[in-house]
């Protein structure tokens, strides 16, 4: 087990919003996670905050688990997965939040799984002229980029400042391009200076090239870290 995954134990907790499976240690939280929002107090919402229907004994009020606002059943009837808040089951959300959560779920199901499965690259550190063949993957707790070969690196996702995808095949008149690698800059804990790393896809087999291109595309989105909504729109 690598050092970045040694504190991955989780616990089941119950909140007014539902059951959540969360890390035992807050420091092990995914950088893509969200905190539960405070609910708008019942006394402050006599009407639905969407359609303005007045609440009474028949028209009950419901809170959206994502935004915490108060709605009638018609405006807050959808139950949608919300992995960013670690909910075990789909939870009630307003129409606007449900659309965002559905988009994020697709992101989690596709992009993050691709990254955690990993891909093989030639890795060059700094200005070195030597490269090393390494398997690159996202850690299970989604906090680190882990690189394994003869050497071993763990780069915290939130410390990555820039990611540039390297492509080939572009022509002035237009045409298809494909991702062949990437360069990234990141901070090492305890240092304010940026370290540069270059990853180049292996050309050994066509299947490896396809896997590497998919991994690079996913990494480009995930590298936006705390700016996840923008990453989802990319």
Q: How confident is the model at residue 7 (pLDDT cuts 50, 70, 90)?
A: low
Both tokens of residue 159? 């410390």
Locus of tokens 């616990």:
11
Cβ atoms of residues 101 and 66 within 8 Å: yes
Cβ atoms of residues 161 and 194 within 8 Å: yes
Both tokens of residue 156? 């915290």
Distances (CA, A) of 99 to 40, 72, 118, 185, 213: 21, 18, 29, 33, 28
pLDDT per position as a tens digit, 106-123: 777 788 889 999 999 999
Nearest alpha carbon to residue 101 among 113, 115, 85: 85
What is the reported pLDDT for 175? 56
Tell me the pairing of strands 78-80 and 70-72: unpaired
User: Which helix H or strand E contains 196, and what residues bound it?
Assistant: strand 194-201
Locus of tokens 């606007």:
96
Domains and CATH numbers, the chain: 10-96 (3.30.40.10), 115-169+179-225 (2.30.29.160)
The residue count for the chain: 234
Q: How confident is the model at residue 223 (pLDDT cuts 50, 70, 90)?
A: low
Taking the CB of residue 178, how many other CB atoms lie within 10 A of it?
14
User: Which helix H or strand E contains 163, and what residues bound it?
Assistant: strand 160-168
What is the reported pLDDT for 72? 96
Question: Which phi and psi (to 5°) does residue 133 adopt?
Answer: -75, 120
Question: How high does pLDDT run on average in the chain?
Answer: 83
| C-alpha to C-alpha distance for 188 and 193, rounded to whole angstroms | 8
| C-alpha to C-alpha distance for 155 and 163, rounded to whole angstroms | 13
Distances (CA, A) of 215 to 57, 89, 183: 53, 28, 14
pLDDT per position as a tens digit, 29-57: 777 788 899 999 999 999 999 999 999 98
Cβ atoms of residues 218 and 108 within 8 Å: no
pLDDT per position as a tens digit, 166-178: 887 655 555 567 7
pLDDT per position as a tens digit, 183-221: 999 988 888 889 999 999 876 655 567 888 889 888 877
What is the reported pLDDT for 132? 93
Distances (CA, A) of 95 to 17, 37, 67, 165, 215: 17, 17, 11, 35, 32
Nearest alpha carbon to residue 149 among 123, 183, 115, 186: 123
């Amino acid at each position: 087990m690598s050092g970045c995954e040694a504190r991955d134990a989780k616990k089941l907790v119950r909140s007014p919003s539902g059951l959540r499976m969360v890390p035992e240690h807050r420091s092990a939280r995914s950088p893509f996670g969200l905190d539960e929002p405070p609910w708008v107090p019942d006394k402050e919402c006599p009407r639905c905050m969407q359609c303005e229907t007045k609440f009474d004994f028949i028209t009950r009020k419901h809170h959206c688990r994502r935004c915490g606002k108060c709605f009638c059943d018609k405006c807050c009837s959808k139950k949608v997965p919300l992995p960013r808040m670690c909910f075990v089951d789909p939870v009630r959300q307003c129409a606007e939040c449900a659309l965002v959560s559905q988009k994020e779920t697709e992101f989690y199901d596709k992009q993050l799984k691709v990254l955690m499965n990993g891909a093989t690259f030639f890795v060059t550190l700094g200005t070195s002229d030597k490269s090393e063949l390494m398997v690159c993957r996202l850690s299970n707790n989604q906090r680190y980029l882990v690189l394994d070969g003869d050497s071993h690196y763990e780069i915290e996702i939130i410390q990555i400042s820039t990611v540039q995808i390297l492509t080939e095949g572009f022509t002035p008149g237009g045409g298809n391009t494909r991702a062949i690698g990437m360069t990234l800059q990141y901070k090492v804990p305890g240092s304010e200076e940026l370290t540069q790393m270059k990853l180049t896809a292996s050309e050994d087999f066509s299947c490896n090239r396809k896997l590497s291109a998919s991994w690079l595309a996913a990494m480009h989105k995930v590298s936006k870290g705390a700016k996840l909504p923008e990453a989802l729109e990319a």
